[in-house]
A and B are shown apart, each in its own frame.
Chain A
């Protein structure tokens, strides 16, 4: 058996002539070496991946680390699971120093972590006794959740392979074991020292070490020392096992999350360029566009695959998943991770990876995304999805692999500048209606007419009979507000917002070039649009164009300035709810302006849907999405109008022509015509706006905000 040489410490234990110190040292060298080896193997795909410049703005990035990593900002969005995570995360941070000092104590018994030698030492001991206890309990709670309550978002449909519960329980068990071993080690150390009459800090009251200490206090001395050595070994082995096991699955985020968040995408609403290291002018020299094989992803995207913790919040919020389309953001990541682990094994050489489409991803999966951004908004680790989807689409476009339903509108956009194949010269016809000409004549900025403000209508508002009403309402509002504005008419082409997001980058660039020239020639200093997709394109995708505002922002600031007054709401039975368009809300954080405008209409009753603001549920998507024929169980719009009904609303107000198309259709499909209606913010304002308000009345107008 073993003996103790000198004062007791696991280091001084000699077992079959092997001194504890040597045993522990060997164990630790082995553990660290394994970890370094595994992590270096995991680095290989990152080094082979595409460029991605994420080394700018260090202060902003550090700020995000504080907010999203240390501050766990996104976690409370899921109250229970989030709180549980925050507790475990805090416990881990607190225990980190203790875990390392315990490991070092195995080699050097007198080691004390710097900063813990003074008065803070005992405080830290107490804190960590409780941390270990709480983390241990959290593991139990988490396991019960997994095994008994089984939250739906953790389920793995059969087509995505076997469930992840066994792995999750195994990891929870390992962490619980680590906490138990840690507690047993401190308890037995205290009990041993107490039995030897040496002084030591007693474990914190009611903590796990405290309870264990009571249980073992009366055991024989050798048994106590035996437990101490055993606990030490179990702790060290579990620690290193976990360290080396984590890079094989979801627990890798313990190591990678800090980097994922530091390097996270800073600009919402944007789409990454085709290649970060090739300028737009040199794209012709790029042999292949987009992501076709795994190595076409950027290193940050590979890091995302490593960091995903499989929490399922993306999928839980994804409208595509909700309506049964073949896209589940969670599995987009999990499948990529499985793929990279398989093709870049820890033991053995990397093997050539095949095309992703047709192998791990299906075409429909990639086309199913509406780029609404719900997944990215929710992800606690700030994993990116839209850029990956767009890159996969670029790869498919480059290979000519495009659904027939999308080829026609893309071709029409190329030849006519709109997806409907309508004549260019008719683009401005919506503004020529006699009643509009009388009430608010719209100038066409064709060189003869000038204006300060450009109203960029975009394709759907220009050509769709129903949506032209939004254009005319916007024109009447701008005219009533005394704005000197005009439209580009035939010189305007589609903003190309969805063209870019559907991966047809060269077509997008040609549309952008055309519009930029037309806008510059018009000499305007401001742009206003009523289409959030055009707004996002002009704001984020275009360069060198005047600042752009969505009409809801114009309305809100005019209302705040007292330049806009409304008559009371006509139908007092109406209960309104505001549906946040994805490209106004999530992608550009315009949540309050449209609500403020609604709330300044006297007598307007407004309720919020459960899913609103940054959790808004996509209506089905805009632009080219309208042409794509997805495989789905039901329409997103139908789900959305039911949410509005559930909230007690009978009028949905939106601020996007595409939301109007989808919601109008959905009301018919859901069979609730007459019980539910939809109106655009501009149409509602146009109906209630008090025209020609005397100056003195304006000054007393009280505007909600």
Chain B
């Protein structure tokens, strides 16, 4: 099976202190450390596991500047067969639809049976996967938390409200957005990255993919961020100051009052 995973580089929320910039329209990006978006990492792991079960190839693609190579290197170290960086100044400022347009052009350059994305990027809106599927006229399933390959079809499980699951059959080719927790992604250490240091990663520009610059980038974006703020913290926590027994009883009362004990 030929699998494509769309991954993205994001500021790692667990390794950064996110602060607003002085203009208030973005976060302070100096001294941030980046890593692959968590859900995308699960998607790559899932692709590798499917490949190891049924054979085929895993390709990882990212739309980014040249720093995007860092993420691709890590995915190659995990075991992806190849990686591609889609990069062009014309892409800067693209909205979700713009990114989906770029990815669609990339997908049409190859032959992929299955396209995976993370359920959403840490700093984004969970829209690219669905739009990409629509543009390609492929079926789409979101929030996927297990995949079984059955002949030319997949059985995918989705998480629905209340922690329930539903199983869907979906025909190939298709696009799936992968939920975190679907697997346990393997660890990639420095040694793994060093071992793939010399693997070539092609960079594809707008012209290589036949993308009209007017269709993407800031000019084409119809979705613009106008404000960015950290909500003021409200008085949400109640701290219990009693003895251990008193606190335990009080917690029981509170949980019962909110309908948590039936």
Please give the residue numbers on chain A whose beta carbons come within 8 Å of chain B beta carbons, in ascending order. 283-284, 289, 397-402, 404, 406-408, 410-412, 414-416, 421-423, 425, 504-507, 510, 671
Contacts and interface: CB of A to CB of B under 8 A. Distances in A.
Nearest to A408: B14
A671 B189 contact: no
A401 B78 CA distance: 11
Nearest to B17: A423
A421 B14 contact: yes
Contact of A404 (B184, B189, B191): B184
Interface of B: 12, 14-17, 31, 33, 35, 78, 184-192, 194-195, 244
A398 B190 contact: no
Contact of A412 (B15, B187, B189): B15
Chain A to chain B: the 6 pairs with minimum beta-carbon distance, closest first = A400-B186, A421-B15, A402-B187, A506-B190, A506-B191, A415-B33
Nearest to A418: B15
A623 to B, nearest CB: 16
Q: Is the interface of A mostly helix, strand, loop or mixed?
A: helix
17 contacts: A284-B191, A284-B194, A397-B187, A399-B186, A400-B188, A400-B192, A401-B186, A404-B184, A411-B12, A411-B15, A411-B35, A412-B14, A415-B35, A421-B15, A421-B16, A505-B191, A671-B244
A507 B191 CA distance: 8
A507 B33 contact: no
B190 to A, nearest CB: 4
B194 A400 contact: no
A412 B34 CA distance: 11
B76 to A, nearest CB: 13
Contact of B12 (A283, A415, A422): A415
A671 B35 CA distance: 41
Contacts of A504: 189-190
A407 B187 CA distance: 6
Contacts of B12: 411, 415, 421
Nearest to A421: B15
Nearest to B45: A400
A507 B186 contact: no
Nearest to B181: A404
B190 A400 contact: no
Nearest to B192: A400
A648 to B, nearest CB: 25
Contacts of B15: 411-412, 415-416, 421
Of listed A284, A406, A411, A415, residue having the most chain B CB within 10 A? A411
Contacts of B190: 414, 504, 506-507, 510
Given A284-B194, A415-B12, A400 B187 contact: yes
Contacts of A414: 190
A410 B189 contact: yes
A398 B16 CA distance: 27
Given A400-B192, A504-B190, 7 more contacts: A283-B191, A401-B187, A410-B189, A414-B190, A415-B15, A421-B33, A506-B189
Contacts of B17: 422-423
Contacts of A404: 184-185
A506 B194 CA distance: 10
B199 to A, nearest CB: 14
Nearest to A424: B31
B186 A398 contact: no
Of listed A404, A408, A421, residue having the most chain B CB within 10 A? A421
A183 B16 CA distance: 79
Contacts of B33: 415-416, 421
B189 A507 contact: yes
A401 B186 CA distance: 6
Contact of A397 (B78, B185, B189, B194): B189
A401 B189 CA distance: 11
A510 B189 CA distance: 12
Contacts of A422: 17
A410 B191 CA distance: 13
Contacts of B188: 400
A331 to B, nearest CB: 26
A476 to B, nearest CB: 29
Contacts of A510: 190
Contacts of B191: 283-284, 289, 398, 505-506
Contacts of B187: 397, 400-402, 406-407, 410
A206 B195 CA distance: 74
Of listed B14, B16, B191, B194, residue having the most chain A CB within 10 A? B191
B244 A423 contact: no
Contacts of A425: 31
A697 to B, nearest CB: 47
Contacts of B16: 421, 423
Nearest to A400: B186
Contacts of A505: 191
Contacts of A507: 189-190
B31 A423 contact: yes
Contacts of A411: 12, 15, 35
Nearest to B79: A400
Contacts of A397: 187, 189
A560 B35 CA distance: 52
Of listed B33, B184, B189, residue having the most chain A CB within 10 A? B189
B251 to A, nearest CB: 17
Contacts of B185: 404, 407
A502 B5 CA distance: 31
Nearest to A406: B187
A289 B35 CA distance: 25
Contacts of B189: 397-398, 410, 504, 506-507
A166 to B, nearest CB: 42
Nearest to A287: B195
Nearest to B186: A400
A425 B32 CA distance: 12
A415 B71 CA distance: 13
A398 B187 CA distance: 8
A416 B32 CA distance: 10
Contacts of B195: 284
B130 to A, nearest CB: 28
Contacts of B78: 400
A671 B12 CA distance: 37
Nearest to A507: B190
B134 to A, nearest CB: 33
A569 B228 CA distance: 56
Of listed B78, B185, B190, B192, residue having the most chain A CB within 10 A? B190
A398 B191 CA distance: 8
B158 to A, nearest CB: 22
B220 to A, nearest CB: 34
